[in-house]
Structure formats: C-alpha cells, structure tokens
Amino acid sequence: MVLDHLSTSWSVFQALFLEAMPFLLIGVALATMARHWLPSGPVLQCLPDHPLLGPLTGAAMGFALPACECGNVPVARQLLASGSPLPTAMGFLFAAPVLNPIVLASTWAAFPDQPWLLWARPAAGLAMALVLSTLLRLQQEVNILVPNLLRERGFHQPAGTGSLLERSAGLIGSSSPVPLPLLPTRRDQSWRLSVLHGVDELVKLSSLLILGCGVAAFLQTTLPRDWLLAVGQAPTLSVLALMLLAVVISVCSSVDAFLALGFASQVTPGALLAFLVLGPVIDVKALGLYGTVFCRSAMVFVALSCSVLVLLAGQWTNALML
C-alpha cells in the first residue's frame, strides 16, 4: 500500500516535472536573451511606472509569451533585475499566465458553450494583476524583493558577471554575504557567457521546481479530489474548495481549462472561475519559483491577496449567476 502510494506519487512527480521543464526552459532562454541583448536595460527602464499603465503594459507583454507560470517567473525576474518599473514587472508576472493566446484558446476550446468564461477569466486575471501591482507598489521594494534581486536591480547591469539567481536566492543556496557583482566588460557580454549564466539559472530554478512538483505530487495522491468536489453546490465552500484544488493540482495554465471541464457541471460558476484564475498564478509548484523574486513575507502577502481577490470574484460571480 505504501509502496503503491510512493510509486504513484513518483509517477505524478515525473509527469509534472517533465511537463513543466520546457516552459521553464523557455522562460530562462528569454531571460537570458534579454540579459544579453539588453545589457543595461535602457528599454526596460523606460517602461511605464504608472499604477494603471504599468500593469497593463506588463500584461500586454505577457500576451506575447505563451508560457505558464514556470516560464513567467524567470522573465519577470529579469525584468526587475534590469531595472524595469515594479508595476510593469508585476503586471507581467500576474497577468501573463492567464492573458496569453494559448490559455484563451484552450478556455474557448474547453467551454464553447459558456462564453461568459471567455471574457470573465482574462478580465478577472487582469483585475487581479492590477490590484496586486497597486498593493505591491505601495510598499518599499526592500520589503518585498529578495536581496540579490535588489542588488542586481540597483546596478542595472546585465550580461555581466553574476547569474540571475546568484547566491542565497530563494529557498536553496548559501545565505552568506556575497561580493557585489563586478562592472560588466565587453568580454563578459559574450553570448557564451550568457549561456553559462542561463544554465546556472536553470539549475537553480529547476531545483525549486523539483521541490514544488514533489509537494504537489504528494498532495495529489494523498488528498481525495472527490472530497473537495463534494461541496460543489455550496456558493462559498465550492469556491474555497476549488481554490484549494487549483493550488494543489499545479497543472499548467495552458491546459487547466480541460481539467476544469471534468468537474464543471458539479461546481458553481464562481468556483469554476476561481479555479481558472487562481491556479495559473498561485500553486504549490510555482511557490518555490516565486522565492527567487519575493521575500517570504511578500510571498505570504501575495498568496493571501490573490486568494482574497479570487474568493471575492468567485462570490460575485455566484451572486450574479446563481
């Protein structure tokens, strides 16, 4: 029995990890290219810092990157490291997993008979990104970003010397003080060195992804999914249950609509929307990756804020549609 449980968790882990790796690789590749070709980030630093225009610009940039949250985090981190304004980077980080062509197409393919989801999902995702960006903008960066990122951000230097997640970033790594990055040189900006940085970054992010996938796989085979769906028609409980399910399942946002299709008829419309909006932004698999951008208190703040916003959106949807 225990062996069955372990081997099933191991299979789910492999499925999650192997499926997420390509998206992580896409994200790291884009971040590496941005680091190489936009060395001092002059373009990124010109992005709007406006509380409304910033997140909207970030969301529009996300539309061009059809990747799930695994791919978004390294790109958002590179945006911040290159000095891009916080609202733009946050808009990208939180809106892009929902607002991209593949996710919208899969939502349409899965729910052609529920057109309201086609606009409600991106609208709720965008609204959440706007509110979160505004809330985070009200705080000092030193209180929300990890020290290494702040250091890189302070220097606005790119293809130089340090890898993106240099030292003590996230959940893994040494917490000992590290020397400041050296000033970039022409030699440092060679494409080979950029690749080296990308590989280093990929190793660090992969280790965090492994931890996230491990926890998600364990929970998937431990928590009976039909218990969560048993509260399907209770307006509030169904929203909460589907939010928990979204966090646990950790499936890629480009296909979660097909998964939701499996229980759409058993749950309230608000719960369905909550699953489709929260899952792409907050899930067990991605929490480790967020640790490379946010400090722990900020991560808790982001997770709680997302949850409250999605709960409100779900409740509001239920009030309108039930």
Q: Given the rule CB under 8 A, which residues bind another protein?
A: 4-5, 7-12, 14-19, 21-23, 25, 29, 109, 161-163, 166-167, 172-174, 178, 192-193, 195-200, 202-204, 206-207, 210-211, 216-217, 220-221, 224-227, 229, 249-252, 255-256, 258-259, 261-266
Give whichever of 21 and 118 is closer to another protein, judged by the CB atom: 21
* Cα separations in angstroms, 50 against 22, 39, 82: 33, 24, 18
Decide: 275 and 260 in contact? Cβ < 8 Å. yes
**Residue 134 Cβ vs another protein, minimum distance, rounded to whole Å:** 33
Which residue is associated with the tokens 């796989």? 217
Give whichever of 264 and 286 is closer to another protein, judged by the CB atom: 264
**Residue 169 Cβ vs another protein, minimum distance, rounded to whole Å:** 8
232: helix, coil or strand? coil
Decide: 32 and 71 in contact? Cβ < 8 Å. no
**Residue 260 Cβ vs another protein, minimum distance, rounded to whole Å:** 10
Give whichever of 126 and 211 is closer to another protein, judged by the CB atom: 211
**Residue 128 Cβ vs another protein, minimum distance, rounded to whole Å:** 23
Compute CA 125 distance to the chain's CA centroid, rounded to the nearest angstrom.
12
**Residue 3 Cβ vs another protein, minimum distance, rounded to whole Å:** 9
Give whichever of 90 and 241 is closer to another protein, judged by the CB atom: 241
Closest to 79 (Cα-Cα) out of 289, 290, 293, 305:
293
Give whichever of 113 and 142 is closer to another protein, judged by the CB atom: 113
**Residue 166 Cβ vs another protein, minimum distance, rounded to whole Å:** 7
Give whichever of 147 and 173 is closer to another protein, judged by the CB atom: 173
Decide: 72 and 103 in contact? Cβ < 8 Å. no
**Residue 48 Cβ vs another protein, minimum distance, rounded to whole Å:** 33
Give whichever of 84 and 254 is closer to another protein, judged by the CB atom: 254
**Residue 216 Cβ vs another protein, minimum distance, rounded to whole Å:** 7
1 DSSP β-pair partners: none
Which residue is associated with the tokens 């909207």? 56
Which residue is associated with the tokens 């431990």? 222
Which residue type occupies 319? A
145: helix, coil or strand? strand
Give whichever of 26 and 59 is closer to another protein, judged by the CB atom: 26
Which residue is associated with the tokens 């080979």? 192
- The number of residues making up the chain comes to 322
> What tokens does 255 get?
């296909």
* Cα separations in angstroms, 98 against 129, 147, 209, 255, 294: 10, 28, 20, 11, 20
